[in-house]
Structure 1
Amino acid sequence: MTSSDVLEATTTRAVCEVEVKYQVGGLTMLEAALAGRGVVLSAPVVQIDQAYARVGWEYGQSKIGVPFARLRTERGRHLLTVKTPVANELSCVEHETEVADREQMHAAIQQLGFYPTVRIRKTRRTAMLGLMSVCVDEVDGIGVFLEIERIVEAGEAGEGIQVELDRFARGLGVPLTRITDTYDSLIRAARARV
């Protein structure tokens, strides 16, 4: 789902973003498999994300029930997203809105009790397939990923949706390694190994 789709969805009701994520073993194979399913990926868009955590939370602690913020810049637009993991890190209640001034929002987020954790730069291509949003991300420093997302009503069982999304991903028949961490956690872990 694109950021504007999520923005529109969150203005009318409480929603959860439910996703599955995979490290991609062969980008060309993935592109061909998606095309074979009728998926037409958008032109690449660069996204610069700053992730934030609540003061007192540290990596290694559970993320369930803890709100996290993200400040994204994409094509000159700035989006503030707050996600609270419900069932797992990839099933979250989400609220998102556009902001006019990135630097002022950065300062406001910190004043609200969050601290900056990891900066994420990725090139994303997206497509919609029915109710699913398909994202192919090339994330600086950690590789190529496939994300498949669905927006559901708050309270719907995220794990059941993740099973359906995983079934679609596995049906593509390409080398994929399922990942249960968010990009900020993956980047932080990769930096720790260096």
Structure 2
Amino acid sequence: MPIQRREIEVKYRLHDTAAAVDQLAGHGFHLSPPVHQDDQAYAEPGWDYGQPKLGVAFARLRTQLGRHLFTLKKPQDNEMACLEHETEVADRDEMHAALLAMGFRPTVRIVKSRRTAARGDLSLCLDEVEHAGSFLEAETVVPPGRPGLEVQAELDRFVRSLNLDVERTTDTYDSLVRAALVSA
């Protein structure tokens, strides 16, 4: 039986990316070189923007460094506390066709440059997202049973302790990119 992974994250809009990189380095978080990620997001049949995301399955196909990853996320406590399954796939186009055959609908394409740093179970991601801007994510993976809201509160306290010029957002990248494209 597969292990149930729960990815819990908090996300912040960055106001000064260069200052954030310096602040993070001052706290011992040295970010990796940027990696290009090309994500196609998919929604479960019957779901559309404006509807609640809790309990709904969302899929993603990501291409990064020549590898293709398929991810399924199902929000549990909120949009950033999800049950997650992920695996590498050999053929992105075939996986796309399989998702369409299962009834999933492509929503938005999310293209970003990501730099990461990790300490223990904590991962920090500094993302430059096309159409949406610069963001910092703090995330961890927890076993079933840990309340996602409790973990998010811990992550938020940690990020705020770094004294970064950030503004927390509860929107996922697909929603942020979609909103930016609709208002353009």
1:168 aligns with 2:158: yes
Q: Tell me what 1:62 maps to.
A: 52
The match for 1:125 is 115
Equivalent of 1:139, from 129, 146, 152? 129
**What are the residue-to-residue correspondences of 1:27-176 with 2, within 5 Å?**
27-176=17-166
- Any unmatched runs of 5+ in structure 2? none
Partner of 1:59: helix, strand, or coil? coil
Report the Cα distance in structure 1 between the residues aligned to 2:81 and 2:105, rounded to whole angstroms.
Answer: 22
Q: Secondary structure at the match of 1:48?
A: strand
Query: 1:23 and 2:13 equivalent?
Result: yes
CA–CA distance in structure 2, aligned partners of residues 32 and 81 of structure 1: 32
Question: Which residue identity lines up with residue 96 of structure 1 in the other structure?
Answer: E
**Which segments of 5 or more consecutive residues in structure 1 lack a partner in the other structure?**
1-10
DSSP 3-state at the match of 1:181: coil
Counterparts of 1:12 and 1:31 in 2: how far apart (Å)? Answer: 37
Deviation at 1:55, TM superposition (A): 1.6
Task: Count how many residue pairs are aligned between Structure 1 and Structure 2.
Answer: 184
26-35 or 118-127: bigger deviation: 26-35
1:189 aligns with 2:179: yes
SS at match of 1:40: coil
Moved over 2 A (4+): none
Partner SS for 1:79: strand
Q: What amino acid is aligned across from residue 92 of structure 2 in structure 1?
A: R
